[in-house]
Amino acid sequence: MRILFALFCFCFAFTLRATAIAVVHAELSVPEAERRFAKSLATHVQRWYDEAGVKTALIPDKTLTASSPYKLVILVDCYQPPASVVSTVKALLKRGTRFVVCYSASPELAALFGLKPGSYVRSDDGAWSSMSFGADKPQGAPVTILQTSTNLFTVLPTQKETRSVAWWCNRAGKRTETAWWRTAQGSYWMTHVLSGDGDETGKQRLLLSIAAESVPDVWNQAARHCFNQALIAIKDGSFLKRTWSLPKTSERRKQLDKLFELIRQMQIKTQRLVEARAGYEAYQSARDLQDVIARAYGMTFWSRPGEIIGVWDHSGRGLYPGNWEKTAKLLALAGVTDVYVNVAGAAFALYPSSVLPQRTPGNALAEAVAACKKHGLRVHAWMLCYSCSSPAKGAVDAFKKKGWTLQDAKGADLNWLDPTHPDVRDYLTDAVIEMAASGVDGIHLDFIRFPDLPSSLGPRVRARFEAARGKASNWPKCITEANGARRQEFLRWREEQVANTVQTIRSQLRTKAPNVQLSAAVFGKYPACADSVGQNWISWLRTGLIDYAMPMNYTENMEALNDWLGTQTADARLASKIVSGIGVTAAESRLGPIEVLRQVEAARLKKCKGFALFDLDETLRQRILPVLSVGVTKQ
């Protein structure tokens, strides 16, 4: 019995140690409509810890109690916590628990940390484009983290001991508002949230550094994890085989031999530090070792003449908003050939448009074209076709008044344009032709599909289907049931509606801009996407509606990737019209340099036209492009 009890105590103690950090997502602290987004923000924080080998608990604020065993609690998007949550925080603070509070307007919560609310402020002109940390930053935190935020909730100190440790900076690097406060008790308060896009390495390092102040073993856990990952890479059979296949007298092999000697020395040093539990020093050594291994692995690859090496720029403004020249130069030096710039959608434009509603002042499209052309990059205007995301003010309401949006089965309007509406088809085509006249090399269609099957079953879509194909009884079961009487007919008709838009755009481009290429971002799981969202993109390739497709093959699983690529390139004649999309920082996948290289190799083995990286951010700049440039893109 004593042995069992001792074992229980050990396991319980281990569990507490392993879950000393709680990442709390808001359920009680934000309106119901915002809870899903709040959880996604918290999930990013947990993922950053998890990828560093540090275990955390992800819990809703309603389950946090005064007896919770956590040493560090991170409240993500805790905008207006109720009294119950504030009371719990107060009790945990008295027990010595430390907190990180991200984005709150609560006077009661702020008072617990020696702060008082300031005001809600908003800016779309890049006033908060990065965070600059001062001398009081926690050990291991970066000096600068890039993140563009458009809104903050400022706070002011009420205690002398509460001090600023980081400041927001504008695009020119000038400090604006305080980004992070630190209390005398060691808690932190951020005036916004850590977003999941851009500079993920910096954000991960910041979170580790904060956690290490409360849980000293964090750096050792992260160091051990990074070192183990490095050992796996070193022992990778394909890595060694690729190296040994190079002639010993070649310049590349000589460089690699030197790198392998450096890796051997670094491995010995890092192992010593990890075993000595040297904390941050061990972690930094392990990260350095990973970087050198990735560089060596990258040197075993070679460039391929004529290959498309693409980058999606989701922001539409480059890495350095207001300075496309700097972005274009960086990409050109890294060997990138094509840039897909998100400058338009159904409900917005980032340039003066006579068709689309302009969302913000300026002309991001013209800036991108001028800079990319100067540096020899092909630039493609990336358009979110049917999706009404990130709309200009009033745009979606205008669509709904015109009857242009999809409806659910009950007739409620959705934020998605209706692919079956002929006026929508003309509207999108007019926008494409306008962009094609701007000097771009290509038009890149995204969200060229239905969102899902249920969103296709509204009254207006039904009326058009019945007008074209005859009355459908027992709606919507005749469609939704697996053996529904009209299911296959409806699915094929729905495919035709999307294809008709692509065909109209293609026809107009041939007449008015014959030198402008047409590509599309498409679902990687083909042919399932034909039924699920009406996107039969292989048919588009076969009939010449698009010049090439960019399947979003976002996965961390190489077996799944190879399956998808195998299906996509089953017709060998189409392989040269496929640019495989690699999800470096996509919602579905997070890839390091070596994982990216493996996915590049998989696409090459299938003789694809090239590959494209999602998305242009600091992770891509810092970790991926440098590794590609020593081999894959090296001229």
pLDDT at 9: 39
pLDDT at 16 over 70: no
Contact between 20 and 70 under an 8 Å Cβ cutoff? The reply is: yes
Alpha helices in 79-199 (DSSP H): 83-94, 107-112
Two structure tokens written together for 189: 């308060």
- CATH code for residues 20-214: 3.40.50.880
216 vs 280: CA distance, rounded Å: 10
319 vs 328: CA distance, rounded Å: 9
Contact between 22 and 70 under an 8 Å Cβ cutoff? The reply is: yes
CB count within 10 Å of CB 481 equals: 12
Report pLDDT digits (tens) over 248-272: 889 999 999 999 999 999 999 999 9
| Average pLDDT value over all residues in the chain | 94
> Whole-model pTM?
0.91
Average pLDDT on 153-165 reads: 95
Please give the full DSSP string across 359-417, using - where no structure is assigned.
-SSS-HHHHHHHHHHHTT-EEEEEEE-SB--SPPTTHHHHHHHHT-EEE-TT--EEEEE
Q: What are the domain boundaries of the chain?
A: 20-214, 218-298, 308-628
Instruction: Provide the pLDDT confidence category of residue 1 given band limits of 50, 70 and 90.
Output: very low
264 vs 234: CA distance, rounded Å: 10
Residue 7, helix vs strand vs coil = helix
Phi, psi of 176 (to 5 degrees): -120, -75
Contact between 371 and 327 under an 8 Å Cβ cutoff? The reply is: yes
pLDDT at 468: 96
Q: Which of 311, 317, 327 is nearest to 360 (CA)?
A: 317
Report pLDDT digits (tens) over 576-600: 999 999 999 998 999 999 999 999 9
187 vs 97: CA distance, rounded Å: 9
Can you give the C-alpha Rg of the chain in angstroms? 27
Two structure tokens written together for 251: 């310049």
Average pLDDT on 124-151 reads: 92
pLDDT at 47: 94
21 vs 18: CA distance, rounded Å: 8
Residue 446, helix vs strand vs coil = strand
- Specify the fold of 308-628: TIM Barrel (3.20.20)
312 vs 616: CA distance, rounded Å: 6
156 vs 162: CA distance, rounded Å: 9
Residue 188, helix vs strand vs coil = strand
Instruction: Provide the pLDDT confidence category of residue 243 given band limits of 50, 70 and 90.
Output: confident
pLDDT at 386 over 80: yes
133 vs 209: CA distance, rounded Å: 12
pLDDT at 3: 41
Q: Which of 17, 18, 35 is nearest to 26 (CA)?
A: 35
